[in-house]
Amino acid sequence: MSAPHLPKVAGIDPEVPVSTQTAAPLREIPAAPGAFIQDRLAGWVSDLTTLHELTERLASTATLDATLDELLHAGAALVGARRGLLVLERAGTTTPSTTLGLGLGPADLGHLETVERSATALGRVLDGPPEAADARDGIATPDLLGDQDLDARHREVATRLGYAASYALPLASEAAGRLGGAVWFYDEPGEPSEKQRHLVGLYARYATEHLARLTELERARADIATVAEELLPSRLPRIPGVRLAARHRTGPQGGGDWYDALPLPDHALGLAVGSVGGSGPSAMAAMGRLRASLRAYAVMEGEDPVAVLSDLELLLRLTEPARTATALFAYCEPAARKVVLAGAGHTPPLVLGDRRCEYVETTLSAPLGMLACWEAPSVEFSPAPGETVLLYTDGLLRRTGDAMDRAFARLHSAAASVPKADRHDPAAVTDHVLRAMLPDGLDRSDSTEDVVVLAAHFD
């Protein structure tokens, strides 16, 4: 008869004999068994800190070019490479591809372009099926020159440029799809470690999402700029006795600043600048309607700027009562060097010549949509031969970041500093004023202000 089994207790095998010996007391504390784990944890913390810093730097980039440059540099640091190449191209779009090199000059990029695309790791990453392992995890080529199957042209270019290994990685994510690929080159045979691949893979997926957002933003801005270009004059008219030049910049959201120059009967010229309140497609559409209406009124009664703006005021009140706008219209007779202008809430023109640089004294008026009797007072003045009349929108003043009184003084100083040799060229005058007012450039991407400058030089 067999002995009865002892009851089982969780975690204890009853058949294993229990020792009757008492363990000897500990005489010293053993070494911490977690020294290895602590080193691993310290390594993980260091890697995560590096990855966090790199992604923060990437997130701070606001333009596509800056993002691509940061991505190339950060990727090179993560995989331990010195040079790299990035190609941005989105399947199914007509947008041309963007190529950027790190440590590679234009001639080097030209040599790389002579290699058949399918013979390179970057080409396989870009053209391979998205579900392929290479398209997800990247392609390491640890010894290019030792590869007997390497394309002959690729071998020649690698020898010429002095790289012996490469690591190619797709720029792809589940949400954004595949936007392109990057490859980093090693001077000696080698490849990134498993940890390096993991880190650069995490970084690349985050970068792809950021690139997708910026790409859509750039496309929207380009569409807005195209619409704005179509709403403004495609060319300036040629009228005897006066030369014209214009510069404008539409904000990234699309704004309502506009200008116009149109020939009128009897060799006269109509000049207009204005601004519609708000931003975005609605403001741009209102700007187009306002400009078209002003052109019609100017052709019918342009010699009376007050009547032009009064009709515009009435139209705005009846059709868009919630909209406000500023406008300035000038009726010019170049042969007589006579200018009659009226403004509704708009900034005064500036006259620049060899003997004077001053603002035209205009009566203060409310903007369109806020006038009490649909009438804006007018003023008449006579520019001397060789003088330039500068019309502009208040976006030029606001872009400086100064208070309005200081911005007006800054504009006056900028106009007065135009070299005498350039004062007879309206394009040179506008460019000098813009450089003096906006040292960072007219196309600075972080500004939401529209800018319009229209110059008329009287011979």
Residue finishing a domain among 224, 244, 264: 224
Number of domains in the chain: 2
Q: What is the pLDDT along the chain (459 residues), one digit of tens a residue?
A: 444 444 444 344 444 444 444 555 555 555 555 676 777 777 778 888 888 899 999 999 888 889 999 999 999 999 999 999 999 986 555 566 889 999 999 999 999 999 999 999 999 988 877 665 555 678 999 999 999 889 999 999 999 999 999 999 999 888 888 899 999 999 999 999 999 999 999 999 999 999 988 888 878 777 777 777 777 888 899 999 999 999 988 776 667 889 999 999 989 999 999 999 877 778 888 888 999 999 999 999 989 999 999 889 888 888 888 888 999 999 999 999 999 999 988 999 999 999 999 999 887 778 888 765 555 678 999 999 999 999 999 989 988 889 999 999 999 999 999 999 999 999 999 999 999 998 877 666 556 788 999 999 999
Strand 177-186, strand 242-249: pairing:
unpaired
Confidence (pTM): 0.65
325 shares a domain with 206: no
325 shares a domain with 218: no
Query: Is residue 130 a part of any domain in this protein?
Result: yes
As a whole number of angstroms, the distance between CA 397 and CA 447 comes to: 12
Q: How many CB atoms sit inside 10 A of residue 377's CB? A: 14
416 shares a domain with 276: yes
Identify the burial level of 400 via C-beta atoms within 10 angstroms of its C-beta, where 0-12 means exposed, 13-18 middle and 19 or more buried. middle
User: Which residues form the domain of 237?
Assistant: 233-458
Residue 97 main-chain phi, psi, to 5 deg: -70, 155
Strand 255-264, strand 139-141: pairing:
unpaired
Contact yes or no for 311/294 (Cβ under 8 A): no
Place of tokens 């950027």: 100
Query: Is residue 241 a part of any domain in this protein?
Result: yes
Q: In what order do the strands lie in the sheet with 268-279?
A: 255-264, 268-279, 325-333, 338-344, 378-381
Query: Is residue 7 a part of any domain in this protein?
Result: no
239 shares a domain with 148: no
153 shares a domain with 243: no
3-state secondary structure of 383: coil
Q: Which residues of 347-360 are buried (b: 16+ CB within 10 A; e: fewer)?
A: bbbbbbbeeebeeb
**Amino acid 178: pLDDT:** 87
**Amino acid 333: pLDDT:** 95
Place of tokens 């001639």: 107
